[in-house]
Structure 1
Amino acid sequence: MSCQEKSRSQSARQVITGLERLSLRVSSMINHPVAQTQRWVTIHRLDTDGEREWEEVMGLLAETECIDMTFNDDESVTLRWEPQIEEERVAVVENLFEVAMEQTAPF
């Protein structure tokens, strides 16, 4: 591969935003088979999770009717939900994070 091809390949890559990264991590945790069996998951805020992104995702989760949130003393958040039909649960989680991905940065 020539230097020019490498450059084009690198510029074609999409850069994932902090909000997208956090949303994907939370979605993956919610959809994990163990979380689905126990119907709860605890999400810890990582050093790489920005304040604005964390608040945005927690706000979206708080607006979701089927999810109960508990804010823990260690600043983690435990999500609990009742069993639902698979299609309904997946649709709720996907819709939640589609909203996050569609919002533009305020700057």
Structure 2
Amino acid sequence: MSGQENAVRLNELTSGERLGLRVSAMINSPLAQLDRKVLVHRMDTDADHDWESIMELLAGTDGLEMTFCDDGSVFLKWDAPTDDDRVIDRGEDVALVEPEEEEAPF
């Protein structure tokens, strides 16, 4: 896929989706995963309703500690996943997931 095609797809995303991707990329960065913490900066272009929606989603995540800073950024910190975090319940089927790398619990 060309850079131009990527730019077109990025423009098709809503502002909330773009914010979600940015926050997800920050959380899943190798350094954040190693330290199990990240500082998420709020940009001037982030709409209030998008930011609040992402913060509500994160607040509902077990094992995630959120500290709101005076400048509008949010410091996220999480514990290493336990064996219980690696169980995915799909109705009657239960499967164990063995991740190759340690990922955030959200």
Stretches of structure 1 that go unaligned for 5 or more consecutive residues are 1-8, 94-107
Alignment length (residue pairs): 83
Identity of aligned residues (%): 48
> What TM-score, normalized by structure 2, do the two folds share?
0.68
Query: Which of 1 and 2 has higher RCO (CA within 8 Å, sep 6+)?
Result: 1
State the alpha-carbon separation in 2 of the partners of residues 92 and 67 from structure 1. 8
Counterparts of 1:34-45 in structure 2, within 5 Å, are 34-45=31-42
Once the two structures are superposed, what CA deviation does each residue of 1:8-45 show, in whole Å capped at 9, x if it has no partner?
Answer: x8xx8561101100000111111000001111000111
Q: Which residue identity lines up with residue 76 of structure 1 in the other structure?
A: S
Amino acid corresponding to residue 26 of structure 2 in structure 1: M
Structure 1 vs Structure 2 CA RMSD: 2.6
User: Which residue does the alignment assign to 2:64?
Assistant: 67
Runs (4 or more) in structure 1 with deviation over 4 Å come to 87-92
Report the CA distance shift for 1:91/1:69 in structure 2 as closer, same or farther (over 3 A): closer
Matches of 2:104 and 2:30, distance apart in 1? 16
Whose helix fraction is larger, Structure 1's or Structure 2's?
Answer: 1
Q: What is the CA–CA distance in structure 2 between the aligned matches of 1:39 and 1:92, rounded to whole Å?
A: 10
Amino acid at match of 1:47: D
- For 2:61 and 2:70, the matched residues in 1 are separated by 22
TM-score by length of 1: 0.67
